[in-house]
Structure 1
């Protein structure tokens, strides 16, 4: 299983969870909050167009005007265990900005809807789309990666792979970084079907061993083709079978061999 796993993924070498052109030339480390929301399944006469219109109003009037929010995206369930989930992914420059951004949002909300009744009506309408429960995780970014030059002008497929680190006594930070860079340069960066690649490490949440990678492709068909092309590029870079096995064993010791897979679809109209 570890050998197959390493064919399909490159480890912790890259930048942020989800894409935004703001990071393309930036080697800073960022924090990414992921809020998992859920649809209100009791809402009648649901309209996806109306939901996007409602959220875009908030995006334009608040999120895009908040300088503490570096970037934001919305992802919808495609192939996951819960068809009600919606991911709100927000990127910040530093820890303090996460709290400060909330205060700035409140200021912008009052400026956008100065009439209290109008403000209440808008948020009642907006809140109807969602169930009351949600959960939050925070990830830390690592400089590098395969970053697009601009935001995408269409909905993209996001293949999310969640693996788990081990901390081998015989391992070193230098070896790990060297191995992941080799794989990234030889495989991910040469795979034209992978439009972007974003790996992240856990910063705050339920599991400190969690390692999350996101691969962006144009379609589900391209996802399958991209994974197959990763395998081919891997064999091209390490044509000798013994060398491939040696590489996999070296890098594989940094993971526990388990992973989970999720597929989401972005809403390109709701991107900062």
Structure 2
């Protein structure tokens, strides 16, 4: 059991809240992700004529006419509940190159909507139908992306594991300390694990809990999710191959993290990924 504790704790190390250091790195290129918005939506459970195929076709039409053409959005995705506390939820993720792009993208969406549905009556009918699939309630969070990404490059539907953890803020902590540990871990575990098709660590920027950090793992299937953990553990034990090295890593992780975390599993909608 102890080696699995090591695996979980050290996988989080790169995500201590150090916003000035991280955001400066993101500003070097306008095309690099600077902010990620996550909107949690909920299905309208009272909709009697709910049709998943129709919903997907409508969202694909909106994606093709609006999201895909919006130059202020550099990435996006939609993910459906698989194993989460609320079966009604789905999440929409949007990636922006700057804070200004968030505001500009909203205005651009409005322009593209009118271009895509020039007839006002037809436009209203489409969006009334589209909106009928969702409840009125939604919530938003904004995150800042971290370094040490393993980009998702393989095509097709994916399983997304989202791990949310709580940070500590030690007085004697340093950016160099935790960033080195995270870089070492990602390079020697996630990037060497072929089952991890994509890995994206992010940290809280604006939202309900400043302690929150999030890691997103993409795999091909639920079977691969179990195998991913096993392979991660093998790679970790091979790299940190003595009790002394593992104890050093455990001490580092305990310094920066409370040990509290939650796991959420979603299914990607590949047709809606930019």
Q: Give structure 2 stretches of 5+ with no counterpart.
A: 16-28
Matches within 5 A, 1:25-36: 28-36=32-40
Give the equivalent residue in structure 1 for 2:220.
218
Tell me by how many angstroms 1:12 deviates. 5.3
Alignment partner of 1:10 is 2:11: yes
Distance in 1, matches of 2:61 and 2:247, equals: 52
In structure 1, C-alpha distance between the alignment counterparts of 2:115 and 2:98, rounded to whole Å: 25
Alignment pair present for 1:114 and 2:115: no
| 1:6–1:252 Cα contact (<8 Å) kept | no
2:65 pairs with 1:72: no
Aligned position for 2:194: 192
Root-mean-square deviation over aligned CA pairs:
1.9
Structure 1 SS opposite 2:63:
helix
Higher helix share: 2
Figure out how many residues of one structure are paired with residues of the other and give that number: 260
* Cα drift, residue 234 of structure 1: 0.8
Taking a change above 3 Å as real, the CA distance of residues 89 and 237 of structure 1, as seen in their structure-2 partners, is same
* Partner secondary structure for residue 180 of structure 2: helix
Q: Do residues 156 (structure 1) and 158 (structure 2) align?
A: yes
Question: Which residue of structure 1 aligns with residue 99 of structure 2?
Answer: 95
TM-score, length basis structure 2: 0.90
Alignment of structure 1 residues 251-262 onto 2, 5 Å: 251-262=253-264
Report the Cα distance in structure 1 between the residues aligned to 2:227 and 2:260, rounded to whole angstroms: 23
Structure 1: which 4+ aligned runs deviate by more than 4 Å? none
Pairwise CA distance, 1:115: 0.9
* Aligned residues of 2:30 and 2:98 also touching (Cα < 8 A): no
1:136-163 Cα offsets, whole Å, 9 max, x none, are 0000012331113x3x432110010000
Contact persistence 1:3–1:252 (CA under 8 A): no
Q: CA shift at 1:26, angstroms?
A: 9.2
What's the counterpart of residue 21 of structure 1? none
State whether residues 82 and 265 of structure 2, in contact with CA within 8 Å, keep that contact through their aligned partners in structure 1: yes
Distance 1:2 1:208 in 2: 29
Structure 1: any 5+ residue segments left out of the alignment?
Answer: 15-24
Q: CA offsets, 1:81-139, max 9 Å, x none?
A: 00000101001111111111111111111111111100000001101110010000000
| Partners of 1:253 and 1:196 in 2: CA distance | 27
| Offset from partner CA, 1:23-47 (integer Å, 9 cap, x none) | xx99834200000000010111322
**Residue 56 and residue 29 in structure 1: after superposition, are their counterparts in 2 closer, same or farther (change >3 A)?**
closer
Structure 1 length-normalised TM? 0.90
